[in-house]
Chain A
């Protein structure tokens, strides 16, 4: 099974100053699989995917992409790895000093694979794929609603047809209808590209819609990793409490008196 793995975290530890965020993460994502990682706020879910992108560096352990350990790799190797990855950030992270189409085509123009009018028409084509017409192409990101910004960010993540796509809380802050639209777009983009996807979310509806498998991160460790069909009967009290959103259970929220 290991030879089919696209991404593997092996005994990954990571701390920020005194705070231990990841405490020996062991997780693998198979090629073409859609994995959803759930867990409480501040449990280290974003850090997990940022360790693949090289934005955070593990203190120990291995992060393996396509059978290559990428911890401590050179800047050229990092560039090659990141060129395989698309990322949808939680807030969109669109560059507000440039237009919508320049945001979408940014990666293409930086790598030199398209420029000028070619890049613009490619950007408009991908905007169409996420349900936005060409009238938004010349607008500034600040002129768009939250849902439209998420779509633009999704277009930017998929324009280079990446092998791996990370979605960091793609439906946070959106209304239920727009959330469903984004979920469907994620499913179709991942299916069309045949990409491996890792999604971080608190939204159980979203998790059920887009996941093949679900993993739960708790106190810096993966405590559960199963197919999405097991989500309603997980056989794990922590997952059960989280999925059903109960205040009572083994997960205790720290509330200052």
Chain B
């Protein structure tokens, strides 16, 4: 009996948490469509997500593209398929690696800072103060971050795609001795619009997940410094898990036959 009640309690807790996140997401999205809009806050978050995350996304995708070229070359050499390196790099980068790595990096860089900032505002009563100053906290704090995540992550991923392919090109041409024009031609001829578009759709979804989790855990944090620390950890962990789950679901919907 104890086992059943334990399982039931876990299931109920999970369902309650899912419901709270869904209600928070619904409220955040509905506020995205209704004025007033805080232009200065939106601009600040666009810069925060788009500009300050660019170095980390660029470095991650550059080295991933380089490693991918090197690994696929050594693997494909076993059955004389070295010429497929450019195809593997561009396909892997645009469909999977750039969106997933960018999503995870932004979760670590921005999701954590959003949870910490909003969490600190919660425990120091700044969110309550916003309500008393004719300002809806959802509109002022959450909406700008969600808009920034939804719009900036696809741009970051597009840049990451280009840098990742460039990383593969650098290793392919300067380390493995591929012909430069041939490598670019092969990449260009192989890539399809759907490969890039699917990656950008993933990026938008991951951007939403990261900002939603950062805001949600920060907004719900309680109990001082420890509460803010827990909120930050939860924001990053839940973002990472949801990104990986959403990645599979989106891949399934785009590419399953």
Residue pair A90, B134 in contact (C-beta under 8 Å): no
**CA separation between A177 and B129, bound complex, in Å?**
27
Closest to B125 in A: A93
Residues of chain B at interface, number, CB under 8 A = 13
Residue pair A55, B134 in contact (C-beta under 8 Å): no
For window 51-93 of chain A, which residues contact chain B by CB distance below 8 Å? 53-55, 75, 79, 82-83, 85-87, 89-91, 93
**CA separation between A169 and B107, bound complex, in Å?**
38
**CA separation between A4 and B88, bound complex, in Å?**
79
Closest to A95 in B: B126
Residue pair B132, A87 in contact (C-beta under 8 Å): yes
The segment out of A106-114, A199-207, A232-240 that lies at the interface is A106-114
Q: Which residues of B have CB within 8 Å of A75?
A: 136
**CA separation between A53 and B131, bound complex, in Å?**
8
Closest to B41 in A: A97
A119 to B: closest C-beta gap in Å: 13
Most central of A50, A87, A93, A106 by chain B CB within 10 Å: A93
Query: Per-position contact with B for A104-140: 1 when CB-CB < 8 Å, else 0?
Result: 0011001100000000000000000000000000000
Residue pair B132, A82 in contact (C-beta under 8 Å): yes
Closest to A87 in B: B132
Q: Which residues of A have CB within 8 Å of B117?
A: 97
Residue pair A55, B131 in contact (C-beta under 8 Å): yes
**CA separation between A28 and B132, bound complex, in Å?**
21
Q: Which residues of A have CB within 8 Å of B125?
A: 89-91, 93
Q: Which residues of A have CB within 8 Å of B133?
A: 82, 106-107, 110, 156
Residue pair B134, A79 in contact (C-beta under 8 Å): yes
**CA separation between A36 and B8, bound complex, in Å?**
47
**CA separation between A83 and B134, bound complex, in Å?**
7
Q: Which residues of A have CB within 8 Å of B71?
A: none
Q: Which residues of B have CB within 8 Å of A95?
A: 121, 126, 129
**CA separation between A86 and B117, bound complex, in Å?**
24
Q: Which residues of B have CB within 8 Å of A96?
A: 126
Question: Which of these, B128, B134, B135, contacts A89 with CB under 8 Å?
Answer: B128
B49 to A: closest C-beta gap in Å: 16
Residue pair B129, A110 in contact (C-beta under 8 Å): no
Q: Which residues of B have CB within 8 Å of A83?
A: 134
- State whether the Cβ of B251 lies closer than 8 Å to any Cβ in chain A: no
**CA separation between A75 and B131, bound complex, in Å?**
11
B40 to A: closest C-beta gap in Å: 10
Q: Which residues of B have CB within 8 Å of A87?
A: 129, 132
Q: Which residues of A have CB within 8 Å of B74?
A: none
Query: Per-position contact with A for B129-151: 1 when CB-CB < 8 Å, else 0?
Result: 10111111000000000000000
B109 to A: closest C-beta gap in Å: 18
Q: Which residues of A have CB within 8 Å of B126?
A: 93-96
Residue pair B129, A89 in contact (C-beta under 8 Å): yes
- State whether the Cβ of B9 lies closer than 8 Å to any Cβ in chain A: no
Closest to B117 in A: A97
B220 to A: closest C-beta gap in Å: 14
**CA separation between A111 and B36, bound complex, in Å?**
11
For window 170-202 of chain B, which residues contact chain A by CB distance below 8 Å? none
**CA separation between A20 and B131, bound complex, in Å?**
25
- State whether the Cβ of B13 lies closer than 8 Å to any Cβ in chain A: no
For window 87-138 of chain B, which residues contact chain A by CB distance below 8 Å? 117, 121, 124-126, 128-129, 131-136
| Extra 12 A-B pairs, beta carbons < 8 Å, given A82-B132, A82-B133, A91-B124 | A75-B136, A79-B134, A82-B134, A89-B125, A89-B129, A91-B125, A93-B129, A94-B126, A95-B129, A96-B126, A107-B134, A110-B133
Which 10 pairs from chain A and chain B are nearest by CB? A93-B129, A93-B125, A107-B133, A87-B132, A89-B125, A110-B135, A110-B134, A93-B126, A55-B128, A111-B134
27 contacts between A and B (CB under 8 A): A50-B128, A54-B131, A55-B131, A82-B133, A82-B134, A83-B134, A85-B132, A86-B132, A87-B132, A89-B128, A90-B125, A91-B125, A93-B124, A93-B125, A93-B126, A93-B128, A94-B126, A94-B129, A95-B121, A95-B129, A97-B117, A106-B133, A106-B135, A107-B133, A110-B133, A110-B134, A156-B133
